[in-house]
Structure 1
Amino acid sequence: MIGGVCRWIAAVVLLAGLCLGLGPVSITAAELADELQELVDRALPGDTIQLEPGIYEGPLTISKGIILKAARAGTVTLLNRSQEPALKIEASGVLVAGLHIIDEAVKESPSVLVTSGGVRLEGLLIRTGSDGIVMRNADEGEVSGTTIEWGAADVRMADKGNGIDLYNSHSVRLNGNAIRDVHDGIYLENSDDTTVTGNRIERSRYGVHCMYTRGTLIRDNEGLLNVTGAMVMAVRDVEISTNTFMKQNENVNSQGILLYDAHDTLVAGNTVEGNRVGLYVELSTGNRIESNAISYNFIGIQLLESNDNRVSNNRFQGNVADAQARSSADNDLNGNYWDTFQGIDADGDGRSDIGYAINPFFQSLTGKRPAFQLFFQSPGMMFLEGLYQSERQSWTTDRAPLMAPPHLAEHVGERGQSGSATGLAGLLLLGGAGAMILMTRRRSI
């Protein structure tokens, strides 16, 4: 009885403070755990509610523009045992910060559902059994500094939810988040001008997955041990730059970066290492692929039925096979470094005077008979590939490959003049050696 009266008095005092506009309000779990939804409902737009350490029962719905945050980050838990979202945000201008959200039930509804624009989620820790954060028709929102991880046991990857899932939500910023063990780390569909920067995504299906988007920026992210680092499909005007995608190699369909039906997109400055396929490009046109380090993959780059793309100044090094191509002759490959290619640089300009042609035999064969992929890089297959020279003029070709990796390019440029001199000196030495051989032969006769 006394405890109930105390909680009622505390609630009255706190609600009065909100109504009088006295600034941020603090509540404690011991006093108002059961009244959290009521307190939020009675708050005025613009009010701040600070939660003291403790466990608060969900679900919780926010339907007005307030700030809800932990007085001390990481000490407040919103625990949800229902089939509803742990947190539902239906108003613009909401900020939720510093909460732990435990919502491990396997269900259809997400742990956090946002259906309004201008919502910010900062510094959350979400353990989910569904989708972590779903944003629908929620323009100009932001999710930053948040960790999302799968919390339910014995669930196949195919049955898990996504970490952050956007649909018809434009100009959203997703910055500095850590996402683990979900279906797709970040999924964007019909959501234009989204910024995806500084996120780390591990052990999921696709790290960043774009569908039907324009103007997406994917920069400075890390993908590790996913099926595919960045799956970019049916897009235009996307930038994928200075990301690191490593060790996507445990699945037969693994790639570091995949472009499918991608157009007018920039792929630049990425580190793509230790994947099954470093860069996969199919049915894509008008893209620029430049200054990427594509190293130690089974296949460096695959170009399939893709045209009018520019591929330049990339480093292909340590891959089992540098490149494969099929029906992709009309691309501009120029000035890439292929460590398996032995070029000739007579004028010392740092570029080979003969081109590097990508033999389409294996890719054409496996396109018709997928089972023949078992013979990848086998001696017999390499022998047959060496014999195949049909329609060589239509092969995808780097017309001026670099003689040294791109990071040495500026030094090669500085040596351009001396390189020419070295080439001339080499020709003189060769001529002199030839003359000596002729003279020796005449004397012996």
Structure 2
Amino acid sequence: MTRSINKWALLALLVVLAMMHGSPARAEDELMGLQEIVDQANPGATLVLKPGTYQGPVVVNKPLTIRTEGEGNVELINRSQLPALSIDADGTTVAGLHITDGMVKETPTVLVRGHRAVLNGLYIRTGGDGIAVRDADEGLVTNTTIDWAAEGVRLADKGNGVDVFNGHRWRFMDNTIRDVHDGIYMENSDDTRVTGNRIERSRYGIHCMYTNRTVIERNEGSLNVTGAMVMTARQVSVIGNSFSKQSENVNSQGILLYDTHDSVLADNTVDGNRVGLYVELSTGNRLENNEVRYNFVGIQLLDSSSNSIAHNRFTGNVADAQARSSEDNRIIENYWDNFRGIDANGDGNSDISYAINPLFQELTKKRPAFQLFFQSPGMVFLEGLYQSDRDRWTTDAAPLMTPPMSENQIGDAEGRTLTGIAGLVLLGCTGTLFFWMRRRMS
């Protein structure tokens, strides 16, 4: 009898142990604690994280280098209202982490308050700002992808991909940002370089306010409301960028300057936008060698003066230009494909100036609803009749008869010239050799 009881007791124990072994573990139990690893590290140490999933939030309050053993195999998950990663120490580097922080919240996924931070090769899925910089200088964000994670959130309620406030001398290079509010937003932040980034399906791709000496170079933006918005800024360089297909919103532009001064827009391509170049309340800027094509309006000038607009190519736009109260600008030697000039002396410039009719802008300023009549037959007819104060119209004094070549086209032409010269030299050598051989044979 005792032996039988012992058998049943042993069997029951085995069943309980099997059930305990087979029960699924909770996700929280499987996450490794990254904060403990950070806390145990010495200042200046390099932490190489093993593959796996780690629990956030994490605060780095000492200079560390945190990187992964391999690309894409270390994930930091945050389910709290706090930032997934806070960098409070100067000289911190974080590389290779995948950060998932999908809760919609006011706090950012990565918060940087330490100087000289480096974020490299991160993949961030965010429900707030992807990366927020606050009162920190001289950092770098490179080769990082930021995607909006939460569904069903209006564009106006989303966070920014990168949000910088009072952060100077930062560099943002070769990043990809999608489906956020503003791709890269900078405020009160000087001497920042934004180069080689791609930003899609956001409000403003690149947005700077109250900044000086910002460099926006070789970026690509598409399907945003505005590609690059420069507001209340000075000495900004917008060079070699491509902004296309910003046309879904009534306020869409390729590049917008508002209250911007002493800045340069050069060698950009703005293609298929509602307005290619928009300039308002801005002075002392240079707009040169830009390719402005297939937009509803090539360029709009509103209440702007003392700007230089030269050697740009306006092709395939529904309307090449619109202007209002912007007669005091230097506009010369641009190509307008809707304009038919006369070049009597053959210098390549039209002897007839190109004057931008202000009627539509004057009407829509007083009656915004008249925008519905943009380029309608009736509006075109009225513009043809309107000639009031023509001497005050914004005018290109010497428009080009043919489009100027871009740097790429010049390079291609030089390459073809060199190829032709090489071919002629080779042909000459071959002919000389053939002639010499004939003489020897004779």
Instruction: Please state which band the TM-score falls in when normalised by the shorter chain.
Output: 0.7 to 0.9
Give the equivalent residue in structure 1 for 2:437: none
Provide Cα deviations, 1:91-135, integer angstroms capped at 9, x if missing partner: 010000000000000011100000111000000000001100000
Quote the residue 1:195 is aligned against. Answer: 193
CA shift for structure 1 position 44: 1.5
Question: Which amino acid is the alignment partner of residue 137 of structure 2?
Answer: D
Q: Is the contact made by 2:356 and 2:394 (CA closer than 8 Å) also made in structure 1?
A: yes
Give the equivalent residue in structure 1 for 2:163: 165
Cα offsets for 1:202-249 (capped at 9, x unmatched): 000000001000000000000000000001100000000000000000
**Number of the residue aligned with 1:75:** 73
Q: Aligned partners of 1:161 and 1:321: how far apart in 2? A: 35
Q: Which residue of 1 aligns with 2:429?
A: none
Matched residue type, 1:130: G
SS at match of 1:382: helix
The Cα shift of 1:354 comes to 1.1
Instruction: Please give the secondary structure, in 2, of the residue aligned with 1:406.
Output: coil
Correspondence 1:235-254 to 2 at 5 A:
235-254=233-252
Q: What is residue 265 of structure 1 aligned with on the other side?
A: 263
Question: 1:256 is aligned with what amino acid?
Answer: G
Q: CA deviation at 1:52?
A: 1.1
CA distance in 1, matches of 2:75, 2:41: 20
Corresponding position: 1:315 with 2:318: no
- Per the alignment, residue 129 of structure 1 pairs with 127
Structure-2 separation of matches of 1:338 and 1:36: 60
Q: Distance in 1 between matches of 2:189 and 2:159?
A: 19
Q: Distance in 1 between matches of 2:246 and 2:303?
A: 23
Residue in structure 2 matched with residue 289 of structure 1 by the alignment: 287
Which structure is larger by alpha-carbon Rg, 1 or 2? 2
RMSD: 1.8
Q: Which runs of 5+ in 2 are unaligned?
A: 1-26, 414-442
Residues 301 and 322 in structure 2, CA contact (< 8 A), matched pair in contact too: yes
Deviation sequence 1:229-286 (CA, Å, 0-9, x none): 0011000000000000000000000000000000001000000000000000000000
Counterpart for residue 369 of structure 2: 371
Partner of 1:221: 219
Alignment gaps of 5+ in structure 1: 1-28, 415-445
In structure 2, the residue matched to 1:441 is none
Deviation, 1:166, is 0.2
Q: Distance in 2 between matches of 1:398 and 1:357?
A: 6
CA separation in 2, counterparts of 1:196 and 1:178? 12
Give the AA of the match of 2:354.
Y
Indicate the residue corresponding to 2:45 in structure 1.
47
Alpha-carbon separation, structure 2, partners of 1:113 and 1:36: 16
Q: Deviation of residue 43 (structure 1)? A: 1.3
What are the residue-to-residue correspondences of 1:5-404 with 2, within 5 Å? 34-404=32-402
Distance 2:138 2:31 in 1: 31
2:369 alignment partner, SS class: helix
Q: What is the rounded CA distance, in whole Å, between the counterparts of 1:342 and 1:370 in structure 2?
A: 30
2:177·2:200 contact (CA, 8 Å) conserved in 1? yes
Distance in 1 of aligned mates of 2:165 and 2:34:
29
By how many angstroms is 1:364 displaced?
Answer: 0.6
User: Quick check: 2:222–2:244 contact (8 Å CA) kept in 1?
Assistant: yes
Match of 2:142, as an amino acid? Answer: S
**Distance in 2 (alpha carbons) for counterparts of 1:365 and 1:191:** 38
Does the residue aligned with 1:407 lie in a helix, a strand or coil?
Answer: coil
1:395 maps to a residue whose letter is W
1:171 maps to a residue whose letter is R
What's the secondary structure of 1:328's corresponding residue?
coil
| Structure 2 partner of 1:422 | none
After superposing the two structures, state which structure 1 stretch, 29-38 or 240-249, moved more: 29-38
User: Any residues of structure 2 matched to 1:403-422 within 5 Å, and which?
Assistant: 403-407=401-405
Residues 312 and 334 in structure 2, CA contact (< 8 A), matched pair in contact too: yes
Alpha-carbon distance in structure 2 between the residues aligned to 1:279 and 1:39? 51
Quick check: 2:33–2:54 contact (8 Å CA) kept in 1?
no
Secondary structure of the residue aligned to 1:351 is coil
Letter of the 2:205 counterpart: G
Matched residue type, 2:279: V
1:32 Cα deviation from its structure 2 partner:
10
One-letter code of the match for 2:234? Answer: R
Moved over 3 A (4+): 29-35, 408-411
What are the Cα deviations for residues 405-442 of structure 1, in whole angstroms up to 9, with x where unaligned? 1118999xx9xxxxxxxxxxxxxxxxxxxxxxxxxxxx
CA drift of 1:41 comes to: 1.4
User: 1:322-372 deviations in whole A, cap 9, x for unaligned?
Assistant: 000000000000000000000110111111111100010111111110000
Helix, strand or coil: the match of 1:307? coil
Quick check: 2:125–2:149 contact (8 Å CA) kept in 1?
yes
Instruction: Name the CA shift for 1:153/1:408 in 2 (closer, same or farther; >3 Å).
Output: closer
